[in-house]
Amino acid sequence: MDRYILKVACPDRKGIIAAVTRVVAESGANVLDLTQHTASDVDTFMLKGLFEAPEPFDRKAFDAAFAPIAEEYDMHWSLHAESRRERVAILVSRTNHRLWELLLKHQDDELACDIPVILSNHLINEPVARQFGIPFYHVDYGEGKQKAEARIRKVLDEYKIDLVVMARYMQSLSPEFTRAWENRVINIHHGFLPAFQGAKPYHQAWYKGVKIIGATAHFANEDLDQGPIIAQEVLPVSDRASIRQLVQMGKDVERRTLLHALNLYLSHSVFVYGNRTFVLN
Please, which residue, 32 or 81, has the CB nearer to a copy of itself?
32
Q: Does 61 bind a copy of itself (CB under 8 A)?
A: no
Regarding 15 and contact with a copy of itself (CB under 8 A), the answer is yes
For a copy of itself, which stretch binds (CB under 8 A), given 20-28, 118-126, 142-150, 179-187?
A: 20-28
* Phi, then psi, of 114 in degrees rounded to 5: -95, 150
Q: Shortest distance, CB of residue 261 to a copy of itself, whole angstroms?
A: 10
CA 190, 193, 195, 198: dihedral to nearest 10 degrees? 60
**214 lies in the site for a copy of itself, by CB under 8 A:** yes
Contact 49, 5 (CB under 8 A): yes
User: Which neighbouring-strand residues pair with 236?
Assistant: 212
Closest CB to a copy of itself among 134 and 234?
234
12 lies in the binding site for a copy of itself (CB under 8 A)? yes
Which range in 58-66, 71-79, 180-188, 239-247 contacts a copy of itself by CB under 8 A?
239-247
- In the bound complex, what is the minimum distance in angstroms from residue 149's beta carbon to a copy of itself? 28
# residues near a copy of itself by CB under 8 A: 65
Per CB under 8 A, the list member of 55, 71, 157, 239 interacting with a copy of itself is 239
3-state DSSP of the chain: CEEEEEEEEEECCCCHHHHHHHHHHHCCCEEEEEEEEEECCCCEEEEEEEEEECCCCCHHHHHHHHHHHHHHHCCEEEEEECCCCEEEEEEECCCCHHHHHHHHHHHCCCCCEEEEEEEECCCCCHHHHHHCCCCEEECCCCCCHHHHHHHHHHHHHHCCCCEEEECCCCCCCCHHHHHHCCCCEEEEEECCCCCCCCCCHHHHHHHHCCCEEEEEEEECCCCCCCCCEEEEEEEECCCCCCHHHHHHHHHHHHHHHHHHHHHHHHCCCEEEECCEEEECC
Residue 212 binds a copy of itself, judged by CB under 8 A: yes
CB 182 within 8 A of CB 221: yes
- Residues of this chain, 121-150, that bind a copy of itself according to CB under 8 A: 131
CA distance linking residue 227 with residue 219, whole number of Å? 5
Check 74, 225, 239, 252 and give the catalytic one.
225
Q: Residue 277, interface with a copy of itself (CB under 8 A)?
A: yes
225 catalytically annotated: yes
Query: Shortest approach of a copy of itself to residue 154 CB, angstroms?
Result: 32
Give the one residue of 79, 180, 195, 224 binding a copy of itself; rule: CB under 8 A. Answer: 195
CA distance 51 to 80: 10
Is residue 37 involved in binding a copy of itself (CB under 8 A)?
A: yes
**Which position among 68, 179, 211, 223 is part of the footprint of a copy of itself (CB under 8 A)?**
211
Asked if 224 interacts with a copy of itself (CB under 8 A), we say no
In the complex, minimum distance from the CB of residue 87 to a copy of itself, in angstroms, rounded to a whole number: 23
List of residues contacting a copy of itself (CB under 8 A): 12-18, 21-22, 24-25, 28-41, 49, 97, 100-101, 104, 107-108, 110, 131, 192-195, 206-212, 214, 228-229, 231-234, 239-240, 242-243, 248, 252, 274-280
What is the set of active-site residues?
Answer: 225
